[in-house]
């Protein structure tokens, strides 16, 4: 077929593949329960709908500046100031087609062939493949036995002269754990001392429970934003339930931002004008929507934890945020792919194998769907394993 070595080296996204499978089974009328999803079921914020409606009425949906419209960047700057305590200017921001493209822009902007990018396991399924897409070498650091958060010293020990960046996602997909303040502070110190970028994937940073807050890495930086090695990625996909709009963004120093703008200009020109307008509307609408979503997810988290506790041999670290849990099923079956296949076969429940996130023996079970599906889905898992 004459395909590139790069294309052939890439794995498929396990989560997107399972999403498709769940949708196909549902379309065939099978009684499948999808606990593998990655998006809230809520409708989009009113403000997003109104703004996109206005643009459609006007009949002009054109290219925008590569890094995003002034209106959206103004909202992103205000949002960043409110939630991170740092005020970016327009030259620090790139609006992208999803947080995923913002991460891709970053990787292409900083990674030379053979450079290393470190991230702790369990990690978001796309990190290793995205690093490979930038011709980099992914370096995953596992947590110690029985834990879900890697130690800062174990991460530091993997830094070499080829390390360009460390990627951190907190609260974490798939574990739902929030990295504590001490850890984030230490990572900022390490990165600033070693001249390594710290990319904070903050896509779930508002979806945190039990009165906790996900610490902002900017708070611990000793440098002004334009000299800082801290980069924040965020977007409207998760916190505003707008996955299909595909709007994310990066906040970074000006020199790095300029390089990211060049990358984006040659890859996609700009994110969709219609989606940018909608995202600005959502951000303007503010806290109310996110707080309702967050509160609902906290209740669903409680349901998931209560149902999983009925499986006596499952070990669970209570999720502190996101809409994922990452229970350890190894007492039942160590091979998570085998277990995921068995649950689909015997119970018609979709669950993502932990090995896809770099940690064998676990399954990722989402609680972003309907409460009754969480109860029924975990109930079916229990019956299948009993
Ligand atoms: C940790 C993490 N980062 C980034 C993304 C991508 O977000 P977006 O849909 O805005 O591209 C996801 C989506 O699942 C995610 O879980």
Instruction: Please tell me if the CB atom of residue 167 comes closer than 6 angstroms to any atom of ligand 1.
Output: no
Which of 95, 144, 375, 130 has its CA nearest to residue 247?
95
Q: Are 364 and 324 in contact (CB under 8 A)?
A: yes
Instruction: Please tell me if the CB atom of residue 357 comes closer than 6 angstroms to any atom of ligand 1.
Output: no
So what's the pLDDT on residue 68? Answer: 98
So what's the pLDDT on residue 72? Answer: 98
Q: Are 195 and 226 in contact (CB under 8 A)?
A: no
In the chain the domains, ranked by start, together with CATH numbers, are 5-43+288-385 (3.90.1150.10), 46-285 (3.40.640.10)
At 82 the three-state DSSP class reads helix
Phi (first) and psi of residue 151, to 5 degrees: -85, 145
Helices and strands (DSSP H and E) totals, the chain: 13, 12
Distances (CA, A) of 84 to 90, 194, 196: 16, 23, 21
Q: Which two tokens stand for residue 355?
A: 């090995």
The span from the CA of 33 to the CA of 374, in Å, is 8
Per-residue pLDDT of the chain (386 residues; tens, 9 = 90+): 899 999 999 987 777 888 888 888 888 998 999 999 899 999 999 999 999 999 999 999 999 999 999 999 999 999 999 999 999 999 999 999 999 999 999 999 999 999 999 999 999 999 999 999 999 999 999 999 999 999 999 999 999 999 999 999 999 999 999 999 999 999 999 999 999 999 999 999 999 999 999 999 999 999 999 999 999 999 999 999 999 999 999 999 999 999 999 999 999 999 999 999 999 999 998 789 999 999 999 999 999 999 999 999 999 999 999 999 999 999 999 999 999 999 998 999 999 999 999 999 999 999 999 999 999 999 999 999 98
So what's the pLDDT on residue 1? Answer: 84
Q: Which atom of ligand 1 is found nearest the CA of 172?
A: 1
What are the start-end ranges of the H helices in the chain? 5-9, 14-27, 46-58, 70-84, 99-110, 126-133, 152-156, 181-194, 254-267, 273-285, 287-308, 336-347, 371-385
Instruction: Please tell me if the CB atom of residue 169 comes closer than 6 angstroms to any atom of ligand 1.
Output: yes
So what's the pLDDT on residue 368? Answer: 96
User: How many angstroms does the Cα of residue 172 sit away from the middle of ligand 1?
Assistant: 11
First-residue to last-residue Cα distance in the chain: 47
Give the single-character DSSP code of 124: -
Let me know the angle formed at the C-alpha of 122 by 117 and 127, rounded to the nearest 5 degrees.
40
Instruction: Please tell me if the CB atom of residue 36 comes closer than 6 angstroms to any atom of ligand 1.
Output: no
Distances (CA, A) of 175 to 104, 152, 318, 363: 23, 17, 9, 10
So what's the pLDDT on residue 386? Answer: 83
Our mutation pick for probing the ligand 1 site, out of 94, 237, 283, 356, counting the most ligand atoms within 8 A of Cβ, is 237
Instruction: Please tell me if the CB atom of residue 38 comes closer than 6 angstroms to any atom of ligand 1.
Output: yes
Q: Are strands 163-169 and 197-201 parallel, antiparallel or unpaired?
A: parallel
CB atoms within 10 A of CB 145: 5
Q: Which two tokens stand for residue 290?
A: 């996110």
User: How many angstroms does the Cα of residue 250 sit away from the middle of ligand 1?
Assistant: 13
Distances (CA, A) of 212 to 85, 209, 283, 315: 17, 6, 22, 22
Distances (CA, A) of 210 to 35, 224, 292, 294, 328: 23, 32, 14, 11, 22
In the Cβ-directed half-sphere of 242, how many Cα atoms lie within 13 Å? 32
So what's the pLDDT on residue 294? Answer: 97
Q: Are 123 and 143 in contact (CB under 8 A)?
A: no
The span from the CA of 374 to the CA of 208, in Å, is 19
- Does residue 174 have a cis peptide bond before it, meaning omega lies within 30 degrees of 0? yes
Which residue has a Cα nearest atom 16 of ligand 1? 173
Give the single-character DSSP code of 138: E
């Amino acid at each position: 077929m004459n395909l590139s070595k790069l294309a052939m080296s890439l794995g498929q996204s396990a989560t997107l593949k399972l999403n498709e499978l769940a949708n196909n089974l549902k379309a065939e009328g099978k009684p499948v329960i999808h606990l593998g999803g990655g998006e809230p079921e809520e409708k989009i914020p009113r403000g997003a709908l109104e703004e996109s409606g206005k643009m459609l009425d006007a009949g002009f949906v054109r290219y925008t500046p590569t890094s995003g419209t002034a209106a959206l960047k103004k909202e992103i700057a205000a949002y960043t100031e409110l939630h991170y305590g740092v005020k970016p200017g327009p030259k620090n921001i790139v609006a992208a087609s999803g947080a995923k493209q913002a991460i891709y822009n970053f990787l292409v902007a900083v990674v030379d062939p053979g450079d290393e990018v470190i991230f702790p396991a369990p990690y978001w399924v796309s990190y290793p493949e995205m690093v490979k897409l930038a011709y980099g070498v992914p370096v995953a650091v596992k947590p110690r036995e029985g834990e879900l958060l890697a130690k800062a010293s174990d991460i530091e020990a993997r830094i070499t002269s080829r390390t360009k960046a460390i990627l951190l996602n907190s609260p974490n997909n798939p574990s739902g754990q929030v990295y504590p303040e001490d850890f984030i502070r230490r990572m900022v110190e390490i990165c600033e001392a070693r001249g390594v970028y710290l990319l904070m994937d903050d896509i779930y940073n508002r979806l945190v429970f039990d009165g906790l807050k996900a610490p902002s890495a900017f708070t611990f930086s000793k440098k002004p934003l334009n000299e800082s090695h801290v980069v924040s990625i965020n977007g409207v996909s998760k916190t505003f339930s707008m996955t299909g709009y595909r709007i994310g963004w990066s906040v970074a120093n000006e020199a790095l931002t300029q390089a990211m703008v060049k990358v984006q200009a040659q890859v996609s020109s700009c994110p969709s004008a219609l989606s940018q307008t909608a995202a600005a509307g959502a951000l303007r609408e503010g806290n109310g929507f996110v707080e309702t979503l967050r509160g609902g997810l906290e209740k669903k988290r409680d349901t998931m934890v209560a149902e999983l506790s009925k499986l006596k041999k499952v070990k669970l670290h209570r999720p502190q945020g996101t809409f994922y849990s990452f229970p350890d099923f190894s007492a039942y079956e160590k091979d998570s792919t085998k277990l995921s296949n068995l649950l689909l076969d015997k119970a018609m429940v979709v669950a993502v194998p932990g090995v896809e996130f770099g940690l064998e023996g676990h399954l990722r079970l989402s609680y972003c769907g309907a409460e009754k599906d969480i109860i029924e889905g975990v109930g079916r898992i229990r019956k299948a394993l009993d």
